[in-house]
């Protein structure tokens, strides 16, 4: 039992060192495996989903899941720690948007000022349908030759 605990602890420390060598007091340390992944697969899945939806603001078309920028690494650490601390995905997104603005999310929130972005595809489909219908009706009246 003690041996197992020691192995787990060592794995935790090893995973931690791979990830962020400078801050040994980070609470996320024990929840990481040797590859720097969260031990709990459900948390790791949420971690991947959340970080894919957060923009790396240093290199604006990459997500923090993909980016090698130092800041992206710090933000991944933040997400991991908040997940381990039991925060919801919404808590994490709120933390990020409070600091970096809506631009940090790849999917913008539905608000009056973003109505155009969310509404445009539907509008275009309706508008296109309307034109197709008009043309079809006109053609229906044309004589067949």
Partner 1 sequence: MWKFLLPFAAFLALVVLFAFGLNPKRDIHALPSPLIGKPAPLFSLSQVNDPTGTVTNKSLQGQVYVLNVWGTWCPECRVEHPALLAISKQNVVPIIGIDWSIDHGDGERQKAKQWLEQLGNPYSEVAFDQDGRTVIDWGVTAAPETFLVDGHGRVIYKFVSAVTGEVWEHEFLPRIAAARRAGA
Handedness of CA 81, 83, 86, 90 (dihedral sign): positive
* Sole residue written with tokens 């349908």: 129
**Is there binding between residue 94 and partner 1 (CB under 8 A)?**
no
**Least distance CB 35 / partner 1 (angstroms):** 20
**Is there binding between residue 64 and partner 1 (CB under 8 A)?**
no
DSSP 41-57: HHHHHHHHHHHHTBB-S
Among 7-15, 33-41, 52-60, 85-93, the segment contacting partner 1 (CB under 8 A): 52-60
Of 6 and 131, which has the nearer Cβ to partner 1? Answer: 131
Residue 46: Cβ within 10 Å count: 17
Question: Three-state SS for 38?
Answer: strand
Which of 13, 39, 40, 100 lies at the binding interface for partner 1 (CB under 8 A)? 100
Interacting positions 70-89 with partner 1 (CB under 8 A) = 70-71, 74-75, 78
**Is there binding between residue 63 and partner 1 (CB under 8 A)?**
no
**Is there binding between residue 23 and partner 1 (CB under 8 A)?**
yes
Q: Which pair of structure tokens corresponds to residue 110?
A: 């539905």
């Amino acid at each position: 039992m003690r041996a197992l605990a020691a192995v787990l602890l060592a794995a935790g420390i090893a995973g931690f060192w791979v990830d962020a060598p400078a801050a040994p007091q980070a609470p996320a340390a024990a929840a990481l495996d040797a590859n720097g992944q969260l031990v709990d697969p459900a948390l790791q899945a949420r971690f991947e989903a959340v970080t894919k939806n957060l923009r790396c603001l240093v290199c604006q078309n990459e997500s923090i899941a993909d980016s090698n920028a130092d800041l992206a690494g710090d933000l991944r650490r933040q997400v991991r720690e908040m997940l381990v601390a039991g925060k919801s995905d919404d808590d994490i997104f709120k933390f990020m948007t409070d600091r970096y603005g809506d631009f940090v999310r790849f999917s913008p929130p539905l608000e009056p000022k973003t109505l155009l972005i969310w509404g445009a595809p539907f509008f275009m489909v309706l508008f296109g349908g309307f034109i197709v219908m008009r043309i079809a009706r006109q053609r229906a009246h044309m004589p067949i030759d």
